[in-house]
Amino acid sequence: MWQLLQIELYKIFRRPRTYIAFGATAALITLMQFGLKVDGQEYADFMLQSLGSFDVQGKLLNGYMVCYILLQLLLVHVPLLVTLIAADMISGEANLGTLRLLLSKPYSRTSIILAKFFATCIYTLLLLIWVAILALFVSIFVFGTGDLFLMKTEYIVLIKQNDVFWRYCCAFGFAFVALITVASVGFFLSAFAENSIGPIVATMSIIILFTVLGTLNLPVFQTINPYLFTTHMVIWKEFFDEKVNVNNEAIAGSIQDMPQIIHSLIILSIYIIGLITATVWVMRKKDILS
Amino acid sequence: MREFEKLKMKYILKALFLLFTIHFSLFTFSQDATELVNKVKDKLDKVNDYTATGILRTDVAFIKAPVSKVIVYYKKPDHFRLQKNGGISILPKGGVSVNMRTVISTNNFTALDAGDAVINNVKTKVIKLLPNDENSDVVLSTLYIDEANLLILKAITTTRENGTYEITMHYGKYSEYGLPGKVVFSFDAKNYKLPKGITLDFDEEKPADMERLKNKKGKVEIDYSSYIINKGVDDSVFK
Amino acid sequence: MQSIVEVKNLSKHYKNISAVDKLSFTVYEGDVYGFLGQNGAGKSTTIRMLLTLIQPTEGSINLFGLKLNAYRKEILQSIGAIIEKPDVYKYLSAYNNLKLFARMSGAHRTEKELLQQLDMVGLKERAHDKVHTFSQGMKQRLGIAIALIHNPRLIILDEPTNGLDPQGIADIRNLILHLSREMKKTLLVSSHLLNEMEQVATRLLIIDKGKKLVEGTTAELFDPSQILIELETLNNAEAFKLITNSNWQSALQPKRNNSLVLKIHRNIIPDFHVWLVQHNIKILSLQSRHSLEDYFLQVTSGEQHVAAFAN
């Protein structure tokens, strides 16, 4: 298994396509950071307008805030990049013609498929670490640290500077699970196609469709909402919400809705396990005609 | 006379960092009131500057802010700054710092005696202040002054823009300078609702506690632990 | 002789089509086993079933005396294969492809061994070039290097000459002979070209529509008593009349393409020729061919049997 995993990783990181994702992420993040560095104050002022009768003092646009803004944008961007690789893992080999060679080697299909999936996970993890380095550490370097001031739709959360970093660690951990869910969808669809365009487009379409369904406040969709993985992918934000005591003071180190986070992690895990089991099952039965 | 009025108002506002107005028809002009305000002002005038450390507590339903240490800088006549160790602080407008500027821009007020009241078991004189300038943001101010110690225990300000504020002050070892040990700032928190997409939060967020959010009364508290008085404060602090 | 491949009643059915239908054959150690049939006859499906890429509907496959289902890993370790096109990772160099597949096959080869292997197929100079710059022939040679890198007992080549130029085809032919004679490998080679197989195969299997038509050694199949003669004369009708009234009448076969066809033993072709000349038949051409070829062509080109000559 370890041998197969090494081989799969070798293939992933020998491909130029893999680095497009890293390059694209770097470009996007750098661009956003540049924009915020130049015009960020206007953006912050604009945000504060809606606060009306309150006056906010201090460095609003610090590295933590910039990272938060970036992560919300990357929520759309990174799944696409993960999909590019995940949805190509099986179908890409079918398209290349190497799948038949690969599956006629003395390894079980299950171990080959699992090695491919774990390789995808490692790729996703590295991409996420890359994002963390750029979005968090570079932002901290460029904008400095400070308290994290978040305006949610219904309320404002102010998190002390020394209470932020661990929340980002948790959020990135959660994002990893969320991205693996996306990867699993792409991976599963990849088992049915003989070129990667189909599963990539299909995966993105599913993400968009689910997101739209989740956003529409129609009762008919509200019932299925709790079962859509996209609903749970954004729950990383819950790490940036604190509990308050009876005096309405935020409690440092607290998380407002930990059960929600755990619930979402369970749902996402069910998706991952379900999809990967299904992929293995499909591939074990499949006649390789490519 | 006009100069005198101007000067008088300036003193009051400098002392309180507040603006006040009133339906002047209901009250009679009082020389005593003006005198009292002047006395209070004189007492406060002993302080040229200070640097105070304290603890800031925010109790607003829709704000989740931690209790945090703050440093407050003041310098005559109207420089004021609250600093949170490089952090971010959320304060109601017109409350602590912003009103100082308002004070400067409007300086034409009338002081009226509005009787007595008891605040925290202390007998106080109630003084109503109203701006002569019709365009002033402040509509009415009411001061509750402890005549014996020349301390303002409570101030209520109604503004056009920012609603009504109530400031309660508790005095401790710095009372001889007229500096409070604790300031409680109460106000009606306006309904807060952020337009979607402004923070790039595309998803629907459930409020943490709907019941809590219905409470519209807001409160900001500063507990001062120490003052360094008249030791000089660099102007750069206020920039 | 040990059987290397033993297939019994192998079938693969898709909805309405039988890609392979109750096919049985045996490949023995040392064979160059020619697997013949036109495109779509079921050759690739059979080969893919041998490599576990396709699950048979029914039938049994034994390789090296072991059941394929039960000893998949052990069996596949001893097989090297090129299935249809020799597709490899285009973004990797020839060397890296070879190294990767050696590891996949459970063989750890040193750099020297890998380069030797590339040298054997004439790719040493291009070892570190990306495969996407390679010609079809070079890819084919790399495919062969990959198929052989783990020193397999059985080599399966599926249409190895497809898309190659005459030189490439000759190279493949020589390679097959080399593998068989010098390296004592067993080969299963599929093709739709009989003449190609005739030159290298020791045994042949011809299938059509998934069914076995003929199986046997090349010597058996290329039986000298089964030679067909195609005769074209200035006046075929006269020649036909002459032959029907002679002792040669029994050799007469259905006519094809304006030619008379006779089946006679190789040794008496000169006598027949002399007899024709003596009877003043003006010969335009006299061609011989194996009945197997005739048979194969009929099957594979879909030609209809021509009705008995009559006029």
- The two three-digit tokens of residue B6, written as one number: 């101007």
pLDDT tier at B17, thresholds 50, 70, 90: very low
Q: What whole-number percentage of chain A has pLDDT above 70?
A: 99
Query: Which carries the bigger pLDDT value, residue C217 or residue A188?
Result: A188
- Say if residue A162's pLDDT is above 60: yes
Residue B211 is part of a domain; what is its CATH number?
2.50.20
Cross-chain Cβ contact A107/C73 below 8 Å: yes
**For range B87-91, the mean pLDDT:** 81
pTM of the model: 0.81
Give the nearest partner residue to A287 out of C53, C101, C103, using CB atoms: C53
- CA atoms of C164 and A109, how far apart (whole Å): 32
- ipTM (interface predicted TM): 0.84
- Say if residue A164's pLDDT is above 80: yes
Rg (CA), chain A: 21
B162-202 pLDDT, tens digit each: 777 788 888 888 888 878 888 888 877 665 655 554 444 44
- Beta carbons of A157 and A241 less than 8 angstroms apart: yes
- Whether C106 contacts chain A with CB within 8 A: yes
> Tell me, what DSSP letter sits at residue B205?
-
Most confident residue range from A174-178, C237-241, C243-247: A174-178
Query: Which carries the bigger pLDDT value, residue B110 or residue C65?
Result: C65
C250-283 pLDDT, tens digit each: 888 877 777 888 888 888 888 888 998 898 888 8
What is the tally of structural domains in chain B? 1
Residues of B in contact with A69 (CB under 8 A): 199-200
Residues of the domain holding A41 = 16-285
Which residues have a Cβ under 8 Å from the Cβ of C307 and sit 6 or more positions away? C254, C255
Rg (CA), chain C: 23
- The two three-digit tokens of residue B164, written as one number: 């009504």
- Beta carbons of B204 and B215 less than 8 angstroms apart: no
Give all chains having 3 or more CB-to-CB distances under 8 Å with chain B: A
pLDDT tier at C53, thresholds 50, 70, 90: very high
Q: So what's the pLDDT on residue A182? A: 94
**For range C143-164, the mean pLDDT:** 89
Residues of A in contact with C146 (CB under 8 A): 101
- Beta carbons of C122 and C145 less than 8 angstroms apart: no
- Beta carbons of B54 and B214 less than 8 angstroms apart: no
Evaluate the omega torsion of the peptide bond into residue B77 and state whether it is cis, within 30 degrees of 0: yes
- Say if residue B103's pLDDT is above 50: no
Most confident residue range from B118-122, B188-192, C115-119: C115-119
**For range C119-143, the mean pLDDT:** 89
- DSSP assignment of B25-91 equals GGS-B-HHHHHHHHHHHHHHTT-SEEEEEEEEEEEBTTEEEE-EEEEEEEETTTEEEEE-TTS-EEE
A198-217 pLDDT, tens digit each: 999 999 999 989 888 888 87
Closest CA to C266 of C293, C228, C221: C228
What is the tally of structural domains in chain A? 1
Query: Which carries the bigger pLDDT value, residue A145 or residue B202?
Result: A145
Q: So what's the pLDDT on residue A247? A: 77
- The two three-digit tokens of residue C90, written as one number: 């285009």
Which residues have a Cβ under 8 Å from the Cβ of A280 and sit 6 or more positions away? A109, A110, A113, A114
* Bridge pairing between strands B217-229 and B180-188: antiparallel
Cross-chain Cβ contact A106/C87 below 8 Å: no
Q: So what's the pLDDT on residue B120? A: 81
Minimal C-alpha gap between A116 and chain C (Å):
14
Q: Is residue A5 part of a domain?
A: no
- Say if residue B204's pLDDT is above 70: no
- Beta carbons of C199 and C44 less than 8 angstroms apart: no
SS3 content of chain A, % helix, strand, coil (to 5): 75, 5, 20
Most confident residue range from A241-255, C21-35, C217-231: C21-35
Rg (CA), chain B: 19
Phi, psi of A263 (to 5 degrees): -55, -45
**For range B91-112, the mean pLDDT:** 53
- Say if residue B99's pLDDT is above 50: no
Most confident residue range from A47-61, A215-229, B144-158, C100-114: C100-114
- Say if residue C48's pLDDT is above 80: yes
- Whether C55 contacts chain A with CB within 8 A: yes
Q: Is residue A188 part of a domain?
A: yes
Minimal C-alpha gap between A289 and chain C (Å):
8
Q: So what's the pLDDT on residue A188? A: 95
Q: Is residue A11 part of a domain?
A: no
Strand partners, B141: B129, B157
Query: Which carries the bigger pLDDT value, residue C311 or residue B66?
Result: B66
Largest CA distance in chain A: 71
- CA atoms of C179 and C167, how far apart (whole Å): 18
Which of A100, A102, A112, A284 best probes binding to C when mutated, by most C CB atoms within 10 angstroms?
A100
Tell me which amino acid residue A27 is: A
**For range A128-145, the mean pLDDT:** 91
Tell me which amino acid residue A57 is: Q
- Beta carbons of B8 and B94 less than 8 angstroms apart: no
Q: Is residue A6 part of a domain?
A: no
- Say if residue B42's pLDDT is above 80: no
pLDDT tier at C111, thresholds 50, 70, 90: very high
pLDDT tier at C100, thresholds 50, 70, 90: very high
- CA atoms of A144 and A159, how far apart (whole Å): 15
Q: So what's the pLDDT on residue C41? A: 85
Q: What whole-number percentage of chain C has pLDDT above 70?
A: 92
Give the nearest partner residue to A287 out of C54, C87, C105, using CB atoms: C54
- Whether C85 contacts chain A with CB within 8 A: yes
Chain centroid to CA A125: how far?
A: 10
Q: So what's the pLDDT on residue B24? A: 37
- CA atoms of B39 and B62, how far apart (whole Å): 40
Q: What whole-number percentage of chain C has pLDDT above 90?
A: 33
pLDDT tier at A263, thresholds 50, 70, 90: very high
Q: Is residue A1 part of a domain?
A: no
Q: So what's the pLDDT on residue B31? A: 65
Work out the mean pLDDT of chain A and round it to a whole number.
89
- Say if residue C28's pLDDT is above 80: yes
Residues of the domain holding B170 = 2-238
Task: Point out the least confidently predicted range of A20-29, A128-137, B199-208, C139-148.
Answer: B199-208
- CA atoms of B139 and B120, how far apart (whole Å): 26
Residues of A in contact with B204 (CB under 8 A): 153, 214-215, 217
- CA atoms of C258 and C256, how far apart (whole Å): 6
Which CB contacts under 8 angstroms, 24+ apart, belong to B126-134? B127/B33, B127/B36, B127/B37, B128/B20, B128/B22, B128/B27, B129/B12, B129/B20, B129/B21, B129/B22, B129/B37, B130/B20, B130/B21, B130/B22, B130/B23, B130/B24, B131/B19, B131/B20, B131/B21, B131/B106, B132/B5, B132/B108, B133/B106, B133/B108
pLDDT tier at B209, thresholds 50, 70, 90: low
Which of A46, A47, A152, A258 best probes binding to B when mutated, by most B CB atoms within 10 angstroms?
A152
- The two three-digit tokens of residue B43, written as one number: 């007492």
- Beta carbons of A101 and A263 less than 8 angstroms apart: no
Task: Point out the least confidently predicted range of A83-92, A184-193, B171-180, C73-82.
Answer: B171-180
Q: Is residue A163 part of a domain?
A: yes
Minimal C-alpha gap between B31 and chain A (Å):
35
Q: So what's the pLDDT on residue B7? A: 57
C215-230 pLDDT, tens digit each: 888 777 777 677 778 8
pLDDT tier at B216, thresholds 50, 70, 90: low
